[in-house]
């Protein structure tokens, strides 16, 4: 029988990027970047959770910043929708209107990859988010369509904070973040994820995981779900102190739902831990599988 801690280690490694996935991600982002180079004067780099290794599975929405050079930089003087429209039209010309979608701050390119019942994608990434950006000192500004303005961000600061948190947590912090993000994606919640945006999970984890890794994944997860439930109503500013609060992505109703689902996850975790204590390892594995989804191993 698979011991719980080993099950968690297997789960953790299943949520990590393997070589084949990395090769596919490189091929896809290189293709998009090379194409966009022919359309816009910009330099591009990978960012977001993909770059920070806090992305969960199935692997989708790999973020690429396209930092516009002169003269395309005068987009900055215009409404955010102008650059988003132009990026959209350029991408539609290559990938077709069925594959390309405008989002609040980026354009999503969907590669039409199918996800099987075990959340496998044959080592392929599902999609890329192309984010137009302009440099602003050492920070960047990106368009925000619903706000109707450009917002400041700094991916380097987010990355530095994630690295520091990871190191302070015996290099288990990123793995735990990926696990909660995987829980957030569990189809049992319906099409609406409990926590939105999922970056909020990472932002909350910067504060909710503290005091060092206790050594047992099941207990870490139980206490993390419980702390996230307790603190979901708080305001969560941008950790870099630049952009709008990350918690603005959820209204009161959404927060109430998130609290309910996080509290339920914490209780399910307590039950699973109790199963182990009473020697019912198989029951514990099933409880964790039900909580997280198909990538949590039963054997």
Instruction: Tell me which residues touch ligand ATP (CB under 6 A).
Output: 47-49, 55, 61, 63, 151, 153, 155, 158, 197-199, 202, 238, 242-244, 246
CA distance 293 to 79: 41
Pick the closer one to Mg ion by CB: 129 or 220: 129
C-beta of 198: minimal distance to Mg ion in Å? Answer: 8
| Residue 17: CB minimum distance to ligand ATP, A | 13
Where does this chain touch Mg ion (CB under 5 A) — which range of 26-34, 40-48, 252-260, 275-283? 40-48
For 107, which DSSP code? E
- The gap between the terminal CA atoms of the chain, to the nearest Å, is 7
Q: Extract long-range pairs of 143-148: CB within 8 Å, 24+ residues apart.
A: 143/80, 143/81, 143/83, 143/84, 143/105, 144/80, 144/104, 144/105, 144/244, 145/80, 145/81, 145/84, 145/102, 145/103, 145/104, 145/105, 146/104, 147/80, 147/244, 148/79, 148/80
The rounded distance, in Å, linking the Cα atoms of 178 and 200 is 12
Among Mg ion, ligand ATP, none, residue 244 binds (CB under 5-8 Å by kind)? ligand ATP
| Residue nearer to ligand ATP on the CB measure, 24 or 247 | 247
Residue with structure tokens 């990123």? 174
* Nearer to ligand ATP (CB atom), residue 54 or residue 222: 54
Interaction partner, residue 55 (Mg ion, ligand ATP, none; CB < 5-8 Å by kind): ligand ATP
d(CA 111, CA 132): 20
Question: Quick one: 8 or 140, whose CB is closer to Mg ion?
Answer: 140
Binding-site partner at residue 194 among Mg ion, ligand ATP, none, CB < 5 to 8 Å by type:
none
Which does residue 198 bind out of ligand ATP, Mg ion, none, counting CB within 5 to 8 angstroms by kind?
Answer: ligand ATP
Q: Which residue is nearest to ligand ATP (CB)?
A: 243
Q: Is residue 194 within the footprint of Mg ion (CB under 5 A)?
A: no
Q: How far is the CB of 49 from Mg ion (least distance, A)?
A: 5
**Cα torsion angle, 218, 221, 225, 231, sign:** positive
Q: Which residue is nearest to Mg ion (CB)?
A: 48
Burial of 264 (0-12, 13-18, 19+ CB in 10 A): middle
For every residue of 139-167, which 3-state class applies, written as one string? Answer: EEEEEECCCCEEEEECHHHHHHHHHHHHH
In the complex, least distance from residue 159 CB atom to ligand ATP, rounded to whole angstroms: 8
Q: Which is nearer to Mg ion, 62 or 291 (CB)?
A: 62
**Using CA atoms, how far apart are residues 205 and 137, in angstroms rounded to an integer?**
28
Q: Compare residues 15 and 265 and give the one whose CB is closer to ligand ATP.
A: 15
Please state the closest distance from residue 285 (CB atom) to Mg ion, in A.
31
Footprint on residues 44-83 left by Mg ion (CB under 5 A): 48, 61, 63
Binding site for Mg ion (CB under 5 A): 48, 61, 63
């Amino acid at each position: 029988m698979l011991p719980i801690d080993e099950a968690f280690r297997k789960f953790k490694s299943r949520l990590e990027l393997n070589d084949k996935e990395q090769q596919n991600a490189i091929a896809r982002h290189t293709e998009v970047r090379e194409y966009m180079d022919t359309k816009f004067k910009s330099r591009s780099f990978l960012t977001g959770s993909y770059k920070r290794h806090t992305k969960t599975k199935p692997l989708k929405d790999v973020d690429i910043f396209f930092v516009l050079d002169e003269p395309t930089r005068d987009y900055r003087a215009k409404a955010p929708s102008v650059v988003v429209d132009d990026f959209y039209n350029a991408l539609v010309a290559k990938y077709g209107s069925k594959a390309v979608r405008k989002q609040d701050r980026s354009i999503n390119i969907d590669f039409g990859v199918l996800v099987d019942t075990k959340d496998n994608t044959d080592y392929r990434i599902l999609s890329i988010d192309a984010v137009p950006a302009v440099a602003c000192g050492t920070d960047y500004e990106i368009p925000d369509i619903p706000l109707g303005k450009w917002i400041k961000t700094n991916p380097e600061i987010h990355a530095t904070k994630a690295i520091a948190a990871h190191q302070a947590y015996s290099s288990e912090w990123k793995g735990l973040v990926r696990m909660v993000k995987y829980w957030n994606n569990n189809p049992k919640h319906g099409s609406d994820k409990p926590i939105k945006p999922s970056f909020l999970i990472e932002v909350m984890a910067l504060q909710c995981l503290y005091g060092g890794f206790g050594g047992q994944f099941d207990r870490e997860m139980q206490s993390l779900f419980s702390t996230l439930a307790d603190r979901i109503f708080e305001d969560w500013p941008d950790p870099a102190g630049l952009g709008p609060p990350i918690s603005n992505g959820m209204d009161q109703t959404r927060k109430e739902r998130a609290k309910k689902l996080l509290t339920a996850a914490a209780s399910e975790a307590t039950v699973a831990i109790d199963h182990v204590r009473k020697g019912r390892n198989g029951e514990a594995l099933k409880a964790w599988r039900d909580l997280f989804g198909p990538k949590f191993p039963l054997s």
